Chain A
Amino acid sequence: MNALVARLVVDRGVPSRGSRPAPGQDPAAGPFRLDIELTVASGEVVALLGPNGAGKTTALRALAGLTPLSAGRVDLAGVCLDDGDAVFVPPERRGVGLVFQDYLLFPHLSALDNVAFGPRCRGASAAQARAVARQWLARVGLADLAARRPRELSGGQAQRVALARALALEPSLLLLDEPLAALDARTRLDTRADLHHHLGEHPGPTLVVTHDPLDAFVLADRLVIIEEGRIVQEGDAATVTARPRTDYVARLVGLNLYRGHGDGHTITLPTGMEISAADTVHGEAFVAFPPAAVALYVQPPEGSPRNTWQARIVGVTRHGDYVRVRLDGGPGEASADVTPAGAAALQVEPGQQVWAAVKANQTRAYPA
């Protein structure tokens, strides 16, 4: 049984039912409509991925009851929380736990009292609430820091207190907004593993908003990708990584992606170029290949393999132990990864003309 079934429609830029503009939204951005359908099963972790301004945070706020729906419906464990009209359960009566991006730990309360806040509001006595809070702090490994104020905690510790505070509610739905975004790289690694463990233990449905694909791949069972308020792709990490369906997703997973018309092993792109693929497709199709599969030559390559085109270099950036060369021409924009030695041999620089080639067995084609 799906614990969370929702169709979220939120209009922004148009005054909705008694709400202020949500924080973090640019009021001058013009009208915007979020319209997505989400189902999350009990015990399932779904990641909501998307670029900035796609509506991820708006979706979380709508589920938490901080932004009322313009239309649509939210059902949690069979109870309607918002139907965009007469029914609206306010956030304090939803039992939805929300971990904010910047945690929003109450600065005037100790870590313990922050975690005890939820149980206390639910009618527990001060002593009971603190006992529950102590257990949760122990679970996230912070029993020693119970008396600390939030400003005396490191980023990773604050993140865990925020998680404990949300979990202490025993929420019927757990929401996390960019849970790792505020952390430095090293802390992020540890916290991500920790978080994965705690989310796995949460019995209810969990929705994680992130713009980091790695967070999504590690934390979530399923990915939902939204752009401009719409779902553009859904699926598990393997499917999304192998078969991106938009430029954003392709960039996210690091692939060159083109859309064209398939006829067997050949896909014709709008630029007129034909790409050969190992897969067979008919009709509208995507073709994708990794930047590392693109080879660059100064002269037209010998034996004229298929999938060869002449391109102009528009950018060169160094990433760790390879050099990414951005190309224009042939199928459109493309990225090629070459070794520093290769880049030096080619003397790549913006404006230069080169030949690019991709082997058919390294391209993947699938129906659009």
Chain B
Amino acid sequence: MHDTNVSGAGLAGAGPSSETPPTATTSTVEARRRRRPGLVPAPLILPAVLALLFLVMPVVGLLVRAPWRQLPQRLVAPAVLDALRLSLVAATLATAICIVLGVPLAWMLARIEFPGRRLVRALVTVPLVLPPVVGGLSLLLLLGRRGIAGQWLYKWFHVSIPFTTTAVVIAEAFVAMPFLVIAVEGALRGADDRYEEAAATLGAGRWTTFRRVTLPLVAPGIAAGSVLCWARALGEFGATITFAGNFPRKTQTMPMNVYLLLETDPSAAIVLSLVLLAVSVAVLASLRERWIGGLS
């Protein structure tokens, strides 16, 4: 009896030789996953190390030359505080504009099939590749007192945008918007749109679905996009100086302040740069958190 059982089990194991493909597939997958441990080719090592040094050394230089002792009193200098306040307010307002306008645009690009969608997506990225000065000039030509739209604003409402804090916000929003749109569109494409179908079967119209399902699902993506967008706005220089000029307390943001101080008071310029560096590092850290949080 015992013998029969053993041979029976042996048969069952040896029998289904015609059903081997699954095993074969598994072993191929394993082979692909197993990476051959090898040395890095020599011609790649030196450039790679140089690239890393090239990216890191300037920042190290900034830290080495920083007037650490005078830092506290320099940080609270009125000019620095003014520029800092203006920069933070303008970047935050610009980000708010980007969220309000950019999230719907990202939704359209991700969810709606319309003719010319590829073209629209390409247009969205124009401010990314456009030299900021050209962007500022374009804004001036559109919204300047004699600009295409600006002349009517001035004629009807007696409103002139260039060289005001509003202009700073507009210039920053212009260059920073693509960061948000691209990040949010990516998040929307990555999100399972069957949740939206589930919402529809539960009686939710498109707006309710967007508000109660889509937005919460892509909230991490929106947060990441907003942080990138805010960081880009904070560092904006070219478009802002072209469209908004450089007036202390009105349009003079931190980057402009750094640039000007470099001629008169280099160590003050370094101090401001340190502040911007600290903000960038904080942004990077918060993004890491977001990305890790979004993945888990």
Write the residues of chain A forming the contact surface with B, with a CB cutoff of 8 angstroms.
20, 23, 64-66, 90-98, 100, 104, 106-109, 117-118, 121-122, 165-166, 169, 314-318, 323, 340-341, 343-345, 348-350
Contact of B194 among A104, A318, A349 (CB under 8 A): A104
Chain B residues whose C-beta falls within 8 Å of the C-beta of A344 in the assembled complex: 3-4, 7-8, 11
A-B CB contact pairs (8 Å), 7 listed: A64-B201, A104-B192, A104-B195, A106-B195, A121-B203, A323-B8, A323-B12
Question: With a CB–CB cut-off of 8 A, which chain A residues contact B1?
Answer: 341
Q: Given contacts A314-B18, A315-B19, A316-B16, is CB(A165)–CB(B202) below 8 Å?
A: yes
A171 nearest in chain B by CB position: B201
**Any A CB within 8 A of the CB of B89:** no
- A-B pairs, top 5 by smallest CB distance, nearest first, are A318-B12, A316-B15, A340-B8, A121-B203, A118-B202
Query: Is B128's CB within 8 Å of the partner chain A?
Result: no
Interface residues of B (CB under 8 A from A): 1, 3-5, 7-9, 11-19, 113, 192-195, 197-205, 208, 212-213, 216-217, 219
Chain A residues with Cβ below 8 Å from B11 are: 316, 318, 323, 340, 343-344, 348-349
- How distant is the Cα of A314 from the Cα of B19 in the complex, in angstroms? 11
A109 to B19: give the CA distance in the assembly, Å: 45
A152 to B5, CA, bound (A): 45
Q: Is the CB of B12 within 8 A of A100?
A: no
In the complex, chain A residues whose CB is within 8 Å of the CB of B212: 117
- The answer on a CB contact under 8 Å between B201 and A66 is yes
Contacts of B19 in A (CB 8 A): 315, 317
Minimum distance in angstroms from B295 CB to a CB of chain A: 14
Q: Which of A66, A97, A317 contacts B16 (CB 8 A)?
A: A317
Complex contacts, B204 vs chain A, CB 8 Å: 92, 117, 121
Cβ contact within 8 Å between A92 and B200? yes
| Contact B113–A20 (Cβ < 8 Å) | yes
Whether A340 lies near B195 (C-beta < 8 A) is: no
How many angstroms from the CA of A315 to the CA of B195 in the assembled complex?
44
Q: Give the shortest distance, in Å, between A293 (CB) and chain B (any CB).
A: 21
Which of B15, B195, B199, B219 meets A350, CB within 8 Å?
B15
Given contacts A23-B194, A318-B12, contact A117 B200 (CB under 8 A): no
A117, B15: Cβ atoms closer than 8 Å: no
Closest-by-CB residue of B relative to A108 is B216
Chain A residues with CB below 8 A from B208, complex form:
121
Report Cα–Cα, A109/B216, bound state, in Å.
9
How many angstroms between the C-alpha atoms of A100 and B16 in the bound complex? 36
Say yes or no: A107 contacts B217, CB within 8 Å: yes
* Chain A residues near B213 (CB-CB < 8 A): 106
Name A's interface SS: mixed
Sample of 8 further A-B pairs with CB below 8 A, known A106-B195, A315-B15:
A117-B204, A315-B16, A316-B16, A318-B12, A340-B12, A341-B1, A341-B8, A349-B15
Residue of B whose beta carbon sits closest to that of A105: B198
A98 with B113: CB separation less than 8 A: no
Q: Which residue of A90, A122, A343 contacts B8 across the interface (Cβ within 8 Å)?
A: A343
A20-B113, A66-B197 known; A92-B15 Cβ under 8 A = no
Q: Give the complex CA separation of A163 and B62 in angstroms.
A: 61
Which residues of B sit under 8 angstroms from A122, Cβ to Cβ? 203
A165: chain B residues within 8 A (beta carbon): 202
| Partner of A317 from B12, B195, B197, B201 at Cβ < 8 Å | B12
Given A93, A96, A97, A350, which contacts B18 in the complex, CB threshold below 8 Å? A350
**Do B199 and A318 have beta carbons less than 8 Å apart?**
no
Report yes or no: B198 in contact with A104, Cβ–Cβ below 8 A: yes
Residues of B within 8 A of A100 (CB): 194, 198
Cα(A91)–Cα(B192), bound, Å = 18
Q: Which residue, of A94, A117, A348, has the highest number of chain B Cβ atoms within 10 A?
A: A117
Contact (Cβ within 8 A) B8 A92: no
Decide if B17 touches A121 in the complex (CB within 8 Å).
no
| Chain B: CB-nearest residue to A165 | B202
CA distance A118 to B203 in the complex (A): 6
CB-defined contacts of B198 to chain A, threshold 8 Å: 98, 100, 104, 106
Per a CB cutoff under 8 Å, which of A97, A316, A340, A348 touches B201? Answer: A97
Q: Which of B4, B8, B201 contacts A318 (CB 8 A)?
A: B8
Nearest opposing residue in chain A for B16, CB measure: A317
A92 touching B4 by the CB < 8 A rule?
no
What is the CA–CA distance of A96 and B199 in the complex, to the nearest angstrom? 12
Residues of A within 8 A of B9 (CB): 318, 340
- CB-nearest residue of chain A to B5: A340
Task: Name A351's closest neighbour in chain B (CB-CB).
Answer: B17
**B4→A340 contact, CB < 8 A:** yes
Shortest CB distance A150–B (Å): 11
How distant is B13 from chain A, measured CB to nearest CB, in Å? 8
CA distance A323 to B193 in the complex (A): 46
When the two chains form the complex, which single residue of A92, A108, A350 contacts B17, counting CB atoms closer than 8 Å? A350
B residues less than 8 Å from A341 (CB atoms): 1, 4-5, 8
Q: Which residues of A contact B16 (CB under 8 A)?
A: 315-317
Of listed B198, B202, B212, residue having the most chain A CB within 10 A: B202
* A344 CA to B4 CA, complexed, in Å: 6
Contacts A106-B195, A315-B16, A350-B15: A92 and B205 contacting too (C-beta < 8 A)?
A: yes
On chain B, the residues within 8 Å of A93 by CB distance are: 203
> Closest A-chain residue to B193, C-beta based?
A23
Chain A neighbourhood of B15, CB < 8 A: 315-318, 348-350
How long is the Cα–Cα vector from A122 to B201 in the complex, in angstroms? 11
How many angstroms from the CA of A90 to the CA of B205 in the assembled complex? 9
* Residues of chain A within 8 A of B203, CB atoms compared: 92-93, 95, 118, 121-122, 169
Q: How far is the CA of A106 from the CA of B195 in the complex (A)?
A: 7
Kindly list chain B residues whose C-beta atoms are within 8 Å of the C-beta of A169: 202-203
Taking CB atoms, residues of chain A closer than 8 Å to B193 are: 23
Closest to A122 in B: B203
**A96–B194 Cα gap in the complex (Å)?**
16
Q: How far is the CA of A23 from the CA of B217 in the complex (A)?
A: 19
B12 interface neighbour in A65, A97, A316, A350, Cβ under 8 Å: A316
